[in-house]
Structure formats: structure tokens, C-alpha cells
């Protein structure tokens, strides 16, 4: 889902990252709707479609977003002289590991919904999703309040523009070949 958000200069790199955060929030909300709809109606074409959409997003664009940050944003912060900035960045990298671990725990159940099976325990899935969502929201808040503004000050405009172009190009290719 989502259209490409062209990132052709340094400020659009961060617009692109912010745009992806909005998408992630929508997808997290989609997972909540999935659980609510399953509680009310069980497995329906709508729940299966929500599950398929979430699988595509968290296996694809969300993972790529973490890689983009680790490649284009965090290195500039780890080179900071400010110990607090370094500490926040190390925490953000660690969060990516926790988010991946959480998603790997959740993914088989969502995959089961997408293929029309209900072998898992819904209460356990709901609990895992609550943890996943809370961690993701805290993580994005820390990035938007500390990491992105700091990186925006530290990144060379030419590097940021190159990163923005790379992301926009990849996204437009993904839109053409989903």
C-alpha cells in the first residue's frame, strides 16, 4: 500500500522516513483491526486480506526501513561527540533487533490467518501484538524526537540527497513490481 513519496533532496529524505512511520502506524492499526474483526466474525475474506497486507508490509517495507536507518541515518549519529546521542542510537539499533524478534514470533500466526487457519491461541497473539505495537510506537517517537533532528543537522546534504534518491527509486520499483 502507499504511494511513493519522492525524496530528491536532503529534506525529502526525512519526509520519506516520516512518511514510512505513518505507514507503519497504519499497519499497526490494521493488525489491531484484524484481531477485533477475528473476535467478532472469525475468519472471513476481510480478515484474511488484512493478514496478507500486514505480512507483506512487515516482511518488506518495515524491514527495509530499519535497514535504511542503519545505513543512512545511524552512522552519522554514532560518530557524534555527544554520549547521549550515541546511547540513544545504540538503543534504536537494539530496538530493531527486538522488533524483528517480536515480528518473528507474530508472523506465523498472521501467516496462518492469511492462509485460512486458526491453529494459534488468539489471546497469546493479541498479547504479542500489544508488546510489538508499544515498542514500535516508542521507537518511532524516539527517532522523530532525537535521532532524525540530530541526523538532519549532521548529515551532509549530498549524502542525504543520495540516500533519498535511493529510497525513492526502490519504492517506485516496488510499486511497479509488488
The CB-of-16 to Fe ion minimum distance in angstroms stands at 11
Which grid coordinates are listed for 75? Answer: 552512522
What letter would DSSP give residue 132? H
Comparing CB distances to Fe ion, the nearer of 141 and 173 is 141
Please, what's the largest Cα pairwise distance for the chain?
55
Element (H, E) at 43: none
The CB-of-29 to Fe ion minimum distance in angstroms stands at 17
Residues 26-85 that bind Fe ion (CB under 5 A): 69
143: contact with Fe ion by CB under 5 A: yes
The CB-of-55 to Fe ion minimum distance in angstroms stands at 20
The CB-of-54 to Fe ion minimum distance in angstroms stands at 17
150: contact with Fe ion by CB under 5 A: no
Residue 127, class by beta-carbon neighbours within 10 Å (0-12 exposed, 13-18 middle, 19+ buried)? exposed
Residue with cell 525513492: 168
Binding site for Fe ion (CB under 5 A): 69, 143
Amino acid at each position: 500500500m502507499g504511494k511513493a513519496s519522492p525524496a530528491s533532496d536532503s529534506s525529502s529524505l526525512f519526509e520519506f522516513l516520516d512518511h514510512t512511520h505513518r505507514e507503519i502506524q497504519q499497519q499497526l492499526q490494521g493488525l489491531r483491526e484484524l484481531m477485533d474483526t477475528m473476535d467478532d466474525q472469525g475468519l472471513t475474506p476481510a480478515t484474511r486480506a488484512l493478514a496478507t497486507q500486514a505480512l507483506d508490509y512487515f516482511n518488506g517495507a518495515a524491514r527495509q526501513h530499519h535497514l535504511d536507518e542503519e545505513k543512512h541515518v545511524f552512522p552519522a549519529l554514532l560518530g557524534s561527540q555527544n554520549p547521549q546521542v550515541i546511547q540513544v542510537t545504540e538503543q534504536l539499533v537494539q530496538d530493531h533487533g527486538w522488533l524483528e524478534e517480536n515480528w518473528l514470533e507474530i508472523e506465523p500466526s498472521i501467516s496462518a490467518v492469511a492462509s485460512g487457519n486458526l491453529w494459534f491461541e488468539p489471546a497469546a497473539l493479541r498479547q504479542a501484538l500489544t508488546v510489538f505495537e508499544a515498542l514500535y510506537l516508542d521507537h518511532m517517537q524516539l527517532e522523530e524526537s532525537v535521532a532524525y533532528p540530530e541526523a538532519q543537522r549532521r548529515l551532509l546534504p549530498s549524502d542525504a540527497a543520495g540516500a533519498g534518491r535511493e529510497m525513492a527509486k526502490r519504492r517506485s520499483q516496488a510499486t511497479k513490481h509488488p
